[in-house]
Amino acid sequence: MDLSYIPIAENTIPDRIQTLDIYHVHHSRMTAKQKRSLGPAPLLYPEPALLIATYDANGKPNAMTAAWAGICASDPVSLMVAIQPPRHTHDALLTRKGFTVCVPSEKQVAETDYFGMASGKKYDKFAACGFTAIKAEHVDAPYIAECPVILECSLSNHQRIGTHTVIIAEILDVKADEDCLDASGSFPDIEKVLPIIFDCGSKNYFGIGKKIGKGWSIGKSLMSKK
Amino acid sequence: MDLSYIPIAENTIPDRIQTLDIYHVHHSRMTAKQKRSLGPAPLLYPEPALLIATYDANGKPNAMTAAWAGICASDPVSLMVAIQPPRHTHDALLTRKGFTVCVPSEKQVAETDYFGMASGKKYDKFAACGFTAIKAEHVDAPYIAECPVILECSLSNHQRIGTHTVIIAEILDVKADEDCLDASGSFPDIEKVLPIIFDCGSKNYFGIGKKIGKGWSIGKSLMSKK
Q: List, for residues A190-200, the tens digit of each pLDDT value.
A: 999 999 999 99
What is residue B16's predicted lDDT score, i.e. its pLDDT? 37
Cβ within 8 Å, pair A4-B124:
yes
Q: CA-nearest residue of chain B to A136?
A: B20
Using CB atoms, pick whichever of B21, B80, B129 lies closest to residue A222: B129
pLDDT at site B187:
97
Residues B148 and A18 sit within 8 Å (Cβ to Cβ): no
> How many other C-beta atoms lie within 10 A of the C-beta of residue A140?
16
**Residues of chain B neighbouring A7 (CB-CB closer than 8 A):** none
CA angle A174/A175/A177 to nearest 5° reads 145
Q: Please give the pLDDT value at position B32.
A: 73
B25 → chain A, closest CA residue = A132
Q: Is residue B66 predicted with pLDDT exceeding 80? A: yes
pLDDT at A49: 98
Cβ <8 Å between B175 and A123: no
- Hey, is B190 helix, strand or coil? helix
B205/A190 CB distance under 8 A? no
Q: Sorting pLDDT into bands at 50, 70 and 90, what band is B92?
A: very high
Asked whether the beta carbons of residue A219 and residue B112 sit closer than 8 angstroms, the reply is yes
User: What distance in Å separates the CA atoms of residue A145 and residue A115, rounded to the nearest whole number?
Assistant: 15
Q: Do A213 and B110 touch (CB under 8 A)?
A: yes
Q: What is the pLDDT of residue B31?
A: 67
| Residue B2 CB coordination number (10 Å) | 8
Q: What is the pLDDT of residue A152?
A: 98
Kindly determine whether residue A213 and residue B113, on different chains, have CB atoms separated by under 8 Å.
yes
Q: Return mean pLDDT, chain B.
A: 89
* pLDDT at position B85: 98
Single-letter amino acid code for the residue at B186: S
Q: Is the pLDDT of residue B157 over 80?
A: yes
Q: Tell me what percent of the residues of chain B surpass a pLDDT of 90.
A: 84
User: Could B44 and A69 be called an inter-chain contact, meaning their C-beta atoms sit closer than 8 Å?
Assistant: yes
Residue B173 has pLDDT above 90, yes or no: yes
- Chain B contacts of A103, Cβ < 8 Å? 44-45
- Contact state of A173 with B39 under an 8 Å Cβ cutoff: yes
Q: Which residues face B52 on adjacent strands? A: B64, B101
Contact B113 A74 (CB under 8 A): no
CB-closest option in B60, B82, B110 to A72 = B82
Give the distance from residue A88's alpha carbon to the nearest chain B alpha carbon, in angstroms. 17
Q: Which residues of A touch B101 (CB under 8 A)?
A: 44
- Choose the closest CB to A149 out of B43, B124, B196: B43
Residues from chain A that touch B48, judged by Cβ atoms under 8 A, are 44-47
Q: What is the pLDDT of residues B12-61, one digit of tens each?
A: 333 333 334 444 444 445 667 789 999 999 999 999 999 999 999 999 99
- Predicted local confidence at residue A8, as pLDDT: 33
CA closest to B128 among chain A residues: A225
Q: Which residues of chain A have pLDDT under 50?
A: 1-28
Interchain contact, B211 vs A195, CB within 8 Å: no
Question: How do residues A109-131 score in pLDDT, each as one tens digit?
Answer: 999 999 999 999 999 999 999 99
Q: Is A182 helix (H, G, I), strand (E, B) or coil?
A: coil
For range B155-166, the mean pLDDT: 98
CB contact under 8 A, A134 and B22: yes
pLDDT of residue B34: 87
**Could you tell me if B130 and A27 are in contact, meaning their C-beta atoms sit under 8 angstroms apart?**
yes
pLDDT of amino acid B206: 98
CB-nearest to B215 from A145, A205, A226 is A205
Give the ranges where B74-217 is alpha helix by DSSP (H): 88-96, 109-117, 125-129, 190-193
Q: Do A40 and B209 touch (CB under 8 A)?
A: no
**Residue B126 confidence class, pLDDT cut points 50, 70, 90:** very high
Please tell me the predicted confidence (pLDDT) of residue A33.
78
Minimum-distance CB partner of A35 among B27, B163, B177: B177
Q: Tell me the count of A-B CB pairs closer than 8 A.
A: 513
Q: Give the Cβ contact number of residue B130 at 10 Å.
A: 18
Chain A closest-CA separation from residue B88 CA (Å): 17
Query: Minimal Cα–Cα distance from A91 to chain B, Å?
Result: 17
The model's confidence at residue B226, banded by pLDDT at 50, 70 and 90, is low
- Give tens-digit pLDDT for B179-191: 999 999 999 999 9
Residues of chain A with pLDDT > 70, as a percent, come to 86
Interchain contact, B200 vs A71, CB within 8 Å: yes
Q: What is the pLDDT of residue B225?
A: 72
Stretch B155-179: mean pLDDT: 98
Q: From the CB of residue B85, how many other CB atoms can be counted at a distance below 10 Å?
A: 11
Query: Considering only CA atoms, which of A33, A40, A32 is closest in space to residue B178?
Result: A33
Is the per-residue pLDDT at B211 higher than 50? Answer: yes
Burial degree of B72 (CB within 10 A; 0-12, 13-18, 19+) = buried
